[in-house]
Chain A
Amino acid sequence: MILPLSTAFNLYWLGRYCLRLEKLTKVLPFSHDADAQAYAFGCGLGIHTADSLNKLFMDGEHFASLPATIAMIKQNIQAVRGVLSARSFESFYTLDAAAPIRAIKASLAVCAQALAGERALVQQFYRLGMCIEEMDVHLRFAKLTSSDTAQIKAALSALPASWSALALHFDGTQLSAIDLSAFYALCEKIHAQFKGAQ
């Protein structure tokens, strides 16, 4: 399979948005103000009550909301339509922002199942996006573990040869020394790779 860089970039972001959506379906709706406030803090949102946070996350106008995330997913799948099977495309295309959270969660599971049948390169870039998003979330909530760096290393190592050098990015760095700056430095290198920089 010959995969254009721009398509791979959209697969990467598809992975990021899908994980983002998955996490939202796990935490919504909030019922305790303390939990909501802690979560909002991790997301960089100045929200203090469960009710307000629930409303924000269902507000399609807000970039971090569940409907907005689904909208981004639907844009991504159009961009990668040339490599997705009809089954995968349909599973993402029919994600319904107006459906109950439980139904969206079930739909995401169907999407994951469909994606498991895609070609290796498609899955690899999608997986890279998911791993990057996972690490992003864990850093924000101070839950980073060695598993995060290991997963990113594995995801990058699975990619074609020109990408594997990125897998060494965190090698030799103590887990405690990995902060958002170090993480964003890796993201920038990945993005440069997508742009075709050597």
Chain B
Amino acid sequence: MTAYFFNEMLSLDGSIRPEYKAISQWIAAQPSNCVEKLNQDATDHFLRKGITFTVYSDASNTERTIPFDIIPRIIARQEWDILEAGCTQRIRALNAFLHDIYHEQNIIRAGKIPAAQVLANSCFQPCMLGVTLPGRGYAHVSGIDLVRHNDGMYYVLEDNLRTPSGVSYMLEGRAISQKLMPEVFSGSHVMDIAHYPRLLKQTLMESCYETASNTPLIVVLTPGRFNSAYYEHAFLAREMDVPLVGGHDLCVENNCVYLKSVTGKQKVDVIYRRLDDDFIDPLAFNPNSMLGVAGLMSAYRAGNVIIANAPGTGVADDKSIYPYVGEMIDFYLGEKPILHNVKTWQCYKPDDLKYVLDHLPDLVVKEAQGSGGYGMLIGPKATKAELADFRTKLLAHPHVYIAQPTLALSVCPTLVDEGFAPRHIDLRPFILSSPKQVRTVPAGLTRVALAEGSLVVNSSQGGGTKDTWVIDFDAALPRPKVSRKSTKQGVPA
């Protein structure tokens, strides 16, 4: 029996969903090979602009463009409103969790999460204990990975609270769509996202201490041009009109951080850092790091600089903590989750481990602290040898792994060598949190698994991207408010 996957464009009866009508008519009207040429134009656009990504699966760590498919993924405004509310709720709870675990640890005292899951987590940073941040904001920039299952519902696959990347590709994808498909784009009531850099800057400015100047200095701290996401670091710095710096550009004096500029040392108020905790300060973390700033954590703990995202946020996006996010929403917000997790088995629990071992060929098994799609087992596609190998790993180090059912990720029409074909996709909206407000832009990074039947959408392993259109057919009408209490996801038939 052929597995059923929710088709983003086609309803069960084969009719085209309303939000896809315009694009499907446009595709049908295009001369032969036109769409293929547009995809090639998009690739040329990325190549000319040097928008590349390092693919680590190759032996040579090759710089590649991320394949872009011109056919957008489209979401109706009503659906987006629910996703936005769900992601906002989730981030509010996760930020509350982060504040709690570095202060009173009430959720642990209440027995909702085992202490060891938090305190023994390798991302838990003891140096953050007792640090009071403006508005209790830890994860200023987050990416929530969402998938749509064959029941038509969206589920959260993963939270990304450390240094989530991809927003530049979301924005570049939009620029390409507008340039290459101006007629269908302008006629489709697509909600704008170009203001993301302005919102990001506003979020960072609002996250400052009150003692900061009226024009706080924000910098983007990059590990440098050999980092796979360097293009994005430079892009965001340029779009926000703030300096892009390496660790060598900053220094700490009297517990304040300064940028060495051509007009002398300038006091830094906010560091939007795009390097991992371990590298940001060799005096506090990895002593071999040459990427960070010696003394940065001292300045941070003294309340003289904001680091976005705060050190220690990795605990909250750890896959071993992910199963507890529903509890957090209830515990901190008194609400029911709007978006639900994928069912997850935590292999450190003996009963869960037994289930996973008994059903290994049916499950996806991941490292709790892994990322980028590396080191995971996709049971239905694994060979006997791979299954046996993973069984050994699970028995040896069960606490390292979590398992989830193989999700029937929704599919979206994508242009491949054989023509248009359905390919699995996911969605990463980006959420900005300041003490004043949680904000999103109506879109996200849609990642697409280009190989037939593949579920791996990560660009680091050859996945591609699509533009994401949130279509507002009722742009002239006032927006209905979405309740923060549990809201049933409305799924068009």
- Using CB atoms and an 8 Å cutoff, list the residues of chain A in contact with chain B: 1-8, 78-79, 81-86, 89-90, 93-94, 121, 125, 159-163, 196
> Does residue B238 face the partner (Cβ distance < 8 Å to A)?
yes
Q: Which residues of A contact B230 (CB under 8 A)?
A: 78, 81
B50 and A83 contacting across the interface, CB-CB below 8 Å: no
13 examples of A-B residue contacts, CB within 8 angstroms = A3-B243, A3-B262, A5-B261, A5-B262, A79-B225, A82-B238, A82-B244, A84-B238, A86-B49, A93-B50, A159-B262, A160-B262, A163-B262
Q: Which residues of A contact B248 (CB under 8 A)?
A: 6
B244 and A83 contacting across the interface, CB-CB below 8 Å: yes
> Does residue B178 face the partner (Cβ distance < 8 Å to A)?
no
> Which one, A2, A82, A93, A163, contacts B48 given CB within 8 A?
A93
> Does residue B234 face the partner (Cβ distance < 8 Å to A)?
yes
B233 and A82 contacting across the interface, CB-CB below 8 Å: yes
Q: Which residues of B contact A2 (CB under 8 A)?
A: 217, 242-243, 259, 261, 263, 266
9 A-B pairs besides A6-B260, A82-B220 with CB distance below 8 A are A2-B266, A3-B261, A4-B262, A6-B248, A81-B225, A82-B238, A89-B50, A90-B49, A94-B48
Residue among A2, A5, A79, A84 with the highest chain B CB neighbour number at 10 A: A2
Q: Which residues of A contact B14 (CB under 8 A)?
A: none
> Does residue B422 face the partner (Cβ distance < 8 Å to A)?
no
**Given that A79-B225, A82-B233, A82-B238 are known contacts, is A4 also in contact with B261, CB under 8 Å in the complex?**
yes
Q: Which residues of B contact A86 (CB under 8 A)?
A: 49, 238
* Complex CA–CA separation, A2 to B48 (angstroms): 28
> Does residue B456 face the partner (Cβ distance < 8 Å to A)?
no
* Identity of the chain A residue whose Cβ is nearest the Cβ of B248 in the assembled complex: A6
Q: Which residues of A contact B242 (CB under 8 A)?
A: 2
* Identity of the chain B residue whose Cβ is nearest the Cβ of A75 in the assembled complex: B225
**Given that A82-B238, A86-B49, A89-B50 are known contacts, is A4 also in contact with B220, CB under 8 Å in the complex?**
no
Minimum Cβ distance to chain B for residue A82 (Å): 3
Q: Which residues of A contact B266 (CB under 8 A)?
A: 2
Q: Which residues of B from 226 to 275 have beta carbons under 8 Å from A?
A: 230-231, 233-234, 237-238, 241-246, 248-249, 259-264, 266
A78 and B225 contacting across the interface, CB-CB below 8 Å: yes
Encode B199-221 as 1/0 by CB contact (under 8 A) with A.
Answer: 00000000000000000010010
Q: Which residues of B contact A90 (CB under 8 A)?
A: 48-50
Minimum Cβ distance to chain B for residue A76 (Å): 11
* Complex CA–CA separation, A160 to B259 (angstroms): 16
Minimum Cβ distance to chain B for residue A95 (Å): 12
A-B contact count (CB 8 A): 75
Main secondary structure of the interface of B (DSSP, over half): mixed
B243 and A4 contacting across the interface, CB-CB below 8 Å: yes
Q: Which residues of A contact B244 (CB under 8 A)?
A: 4, 7, 81-83
> Which one, A79, A82, A160, A163, contacts B243 given CB within 8 A?
A82
* Identity of the chain B residue whose Cβ is nearest the Cβ of A85 in the assembled complex: B238
Q: Which residues of B contact A82 (CB under 8 A)?
A: 220, 233-234, 237-238, 243-244
A5 and B238 contacting across the interface, CB-CB below 8 Å: no
> Which one, B49, B220, B246, contacts A89 given CB within 8 A?
B49
Q: Which residues of B contact A6 (CB under 8 A)?
A: 246, 248-249, 260
* Identity of the chain B residue whose Cβ is nearest the Cβ of A84 in the assembled complex: B238
A4 and B264 contacting across the interface, CB-CB below 8 Å: no
Q: Which residues of A contact B50 (CB under 8 A)?
A: 78, 89-90, 93
Minimum Cβ distance to chain B for residue A151 (Å): 20
* Complex CA–CA separation, A84 to B50 (angstroms): 13
Minimum Cβ distance to chain B for residue A15 (Å): 15
A4 and B245 contacting across the interface, CB-CB below 8 Å: yes
Minimum Cβ distance to chain B for residue A13 (Å): 15
* Identity of the chain A residue whose Cβ is nearest the Cβ of B265 in the assembled complex: A196
Q: Which residues of A contact B237 (CB under 8 A)?
A: 82
* Complex CA–CA separation, A196 to B260 (angstroms): 7
* Identity of the chain B residue whose Cβ is nearest the Cβ of A160 in the assembled complex: B263
> Which one, B49, B243, B259, contacts A93 given CB within 8 A?
B49
Encode B290-304 as 1/0 by CB contact (under 8 A) with A.
Answer: 000000000000000
Nearest 4 Cβ contacts at the A-B interface = A82-B244, A81-B234, A82-B237, A78-B225
* Complex CA–CA separation, A83 to B403 (angstroms): 44
Minimum Cβ distance to chain A for residue B173 (Å): 15
Q: Which residues of B contact A84 (CB under 8 A)?
A: 238
Minimum Cβ distance to chain B for residue A171 (Å): 22
* Complex CA–CA separation, A23 to B83 (angstroms): 57
A83 and B48 contacting across the interface, CB-CB below 8 Å: no
**Given that A79-B225, A82-B237, A83-B238 are known contacts, is A4 also in contact with B260, CB under 8 Å in the complex?**
yes
